[in-house]
Homo-oligomer: A and B are copies of this chain.
């Protein structure tokens, strides 16, 4: 039993840490998020050079063959730097779907392009009515000759504005909420029939509304089998949720450490405010929440993710528990920073906003709590054995 990084993992960790330290100081980051584009292509090239874009991909396609633990390392450091480049949408989410479902041909043509940084992808799945339900798909795809014709609307697609390609989930069969009948299409962002409304998010990332009107997609651009995409979507969104949790844990560490530091230095009534026991205990509780968040992330990362029941349970446990930590640590960080906490100028509010929005991503605390309960409490019934023993 050990939680130490392997040598390779330590190298990866050092590499990402150096990138953030050297290329992502606070002023640089502020300029990036204020720019028209909202990201920096230069950084993306660096990711490619460092090999970061290949972390989760199979070695057969030029990737590093990394696991969840490796993605955790990258995302945790990205969290610490509030790196806004679309790594999660492109590499983890879209990249995961392509790896999972793509044909040999598709994988050979797309994955190396992602790894080299030449293309970026985003996954358009949510719809105005779907909230977090991946099975709730109204966007339709109707076969017309050799092409499918897609119509519909996708909500809050992260990274779409920077992507060359979109993966779109559409209904080829079945009712609006049926798990079967969902198909994935990969299309060029500039295709006729696609309109993107790009906007910044409250936490300074970028997302888009995607309007799909008579978008023609060739059969060749289907990912995986027609009607059968749901399981893969759920799996890859789960993997991406662990990545998002990793980013959150990185952010929580910054929030906890910087708040502790701030309270030590901030003087009021002639002394450091960290001399107040109430503030000390709140900082301790922030640390405890951080440690618990990190622990449950480790639980998820070391779980047997190839077992879909274990994966679902571990992911929802982690997202729900980390969601609780985000709220407590984030709100406490702002409260203890006082006036400095609520202004745009100081770093802490930006970390808080990003953490809060990760809380929403891929389903919020309540959503994953419900999924966890459904997974763990459905099969319980009164045991045959008499319950004859005391509770503690």
Contacts and interface: CB of A to CB of B under 8 A. Distances in A.
Interface of A: 276-278, 281
Contacts of A278: 277-278, 281
Chain A interface, DSSP helix/strand/loop, else mixed: helix
Contacts of A277: 276-278
A366 to B, nearest CB: 15
A359 to B, nearest CB: 18
**5 closest cross-chain pairs (CB), A and B:** A277-B277, A277-B278, A278-B281, A278-B278, A276-B277
Nearest to A281: B278
A96 to B, nearest CB: 36
A281 B276 CA distance: 11
A369 B44 CA distance: 52
5 contacts: A276-B277, A277-B277, A277-B278, A278-B278, A278-B281
A373 to B, nearest CB: 15
Contacts of A276: 277
Nearest to A280: B278
A277 B278 CA distance: 6
A276 B277 CA distance: 7
A277 B269 CA distance: 15
Nearest to A275: B277
A278 B281 CA distance: 8
Contacts of A281: 278
A108 B75 CA distance: 79
A281 B280 CA distance: 13
A282 to B, nearest CB: 9
A258 B281 CA distance: 24
Nearest to A278: B277
A278 to B, nearest CB: 5
A222 to B, nearest CB: 37
Nearest to A276: B277
A89 to B, nearest CB: 29
A93 B10 CA distance: 70
A281 B281 CA distance: 12
A272 to B, nearest CB: 14
A278 B280 CA distance: 9
A277 B281 CA distance: 10
Nearest to A282: B278
A315 to B, nearest CB: 28
A32 to B, nearest CB: 30
A276 B280 CA distance: 12
A276 B278 CA distance: 9
A324 B281 CA distance: 23
A273 to B, nearest CB: 11
A13 to B, nearest CB: 37
A277 B277 CA distance: 6
A281 B282 CA distance: 12
A277 B280 CA distance: 10
A276 B276 CA distance: 9
A166 to B, nearest CB: 31
A278 B277 CA distance: 6
A391 to B, nearest CB: 15
A379 B355 CA distance: 35
A332 to B, nearest CB: 14
